[in-house]
Amino acid sequence: MMRLRRHRALRLALRARNGERRTATVTDRRMMRTALRLAQKAADEGEVPVGAVVYRGDGDDAEILAEAHNTREARRDPAGHAEITVIAAAAKRIGDWRLTECTLVVTLEPCIMCAGAIVNARLGRLVYGAHDPKAGAVASLYRLCEDQRLNHRITPIGGLMARHASAQLKAFFRERRRVRKQERQAERS
């Protein structure tokens, strides 16, 4: 069974290197719904609403290895991104830093730090929701996961449930601006 999984992961990696584009699966959609729930939990805790899930397998056999959401504010940790936390937890769970058989599903396009961790963890697949025009390192500003100079490449699948993920982020920042405006007005009074 393990050989079949490794063989499948290697086949997927070769397809990615050859420029073959893939589409999101039903399992990816289910995992994105979980990631969106985690993002909402982050927002409820005052964190930027980003949620992430690492899973392996497909369909009914899919196994969630780790779940996380942003924790930068609570932990006062600049590396407290959902992707970093979930990758570390998944690696710990399987006892290997190589996550070649795994898929990372995240609600927002990863930044440079997270894209680097994705490449270094040798993730088999990456699926993300909303694009990030200010800090996205997978498609918007850079294409780090597909950089030919690196020894591991991933063909990302972007835009899955992007409207919902984007709406979560916009609502969070709209509320944050409203609260800050009220605080400034109260200070002036």
Q: Which of 177, 163, 173, 139 is nearest to 42 (CA)?
A: 173
Choice among 47, 67, 83, 101 that is catalytic: 83
Site of tokens 């985690």: 38
First vs last Cα of the chain: how many Å apart?
68
Q: Let me know if 83 is a catalytic residue.
A: yes
What is the DSSP code string of 151-170?
S-----B--TTHHHHHHHHH
Cα separation, 145 vs 183, whole angstroms: 41
Catalytic residues: 83
